Chain A
C-alpha cells in the first residue's frame, strides 16, 4: 500500500461551520519528512484544514488519516503536536511553568523544557509571566510547547507571525533540521516569502485547493516570477474559469 506511507492522507473532506461549507471536498496527500506550506488568504480554510488534521474539527464527511490512523485517535496524541492560531498558553504563568506543565502531560524528559526554550530563543524571559511578553514572544512560547518531545507530525498554524526576520530564519532552519530527521511539518502562513523554504506548497482559497505542488513546479506551471505572482495568476485563472462556465 502506497497510501500507508503518507503522513497525512485526506479524501473528499467537507467541513461546515454555521451552515456554510468552508472546505469543499479536499483531497490531499502529504509525504513524510516534508515541510508543507499551507498558504492562502485568511478565511480560505487554512486553520479549518489544520484543525481537521489534528482531529479537533467536527467534519461533515470525508476521510482524514494521520500517520496511518484516523485523525484524532488517542494513539496520535503524543505523536502529533499542534500549535493553534491564537497563542494558547497561560498568561498568568511564566514561560517555564507553561512548558513544564505541557511536558508533564506529555511525560517526556524534564530537560526538554530547556531544549525548547533555547530552540525558540526564550532564555532571557524564561522566568517572566507570559502576560508581560510581546506578541512575538508569546507565539514563540506556544511554538515551544509544540516542539516538546519528539512528535512525528508538527501542525503549526501561523507560527512565525510577528517575528523579526532573523528569528524567522532561525525557526525555518529548525523546521528543516526536524524534517531532515524524518519529522513532517505542516506550516500555515500568509507570508509568501516563507513559501520558498517549503518542500511543497498548498494554496488554499475559499475552501478549495488551488495548487499542491513544489515551489519550483508552481512557478513553472503558472509562469509566475515568485510565489505571490504565481498565486495571483492561479486566482485569475480560477475566476475566469468560473466566468467561462456561467
Chain B
C-alpha cells in the first residue's frame, strides 16, 4: 500500500520517524485519519492517542496536545506531528492509558462538559483499541 513519510517530534527530540500508510489523531473537531495524498492539512491536537499504521504494524503515543501537518505531493508526502510530549503506549495497559488521557485533559484546566465527554470518548476508544487490537475504521 501507498506509504508516506511520518515523523513525530517533541520539543526535546525527534521521537520517531518512519514510513506509514495512515496516521490517526484527534483534533478538537474529532478524530481523523490521514493517508497519502490528503489535501494539505494542519490540525491542533487534543489529549489523546496518535497512532501510526503500517500494514499489520501499529504504534501509538500518548500526546497531551500539539499539531499535525500533512502536506506534499503524491510521491513525496509527509506527515509531521509536533507533540507537546509523546510517550509510546507500548506496554501501557488500557485502563492506565485512559486514566492518563483524562489526567492530561484535566491539566488543560477545561471544565467544559463537552470536553469531558470527548475525553471519556477518547479514553473508551483507547480501551477498545487495546481490547480488540483494531481501530474502528475511520475511512
- Real binding pair: no
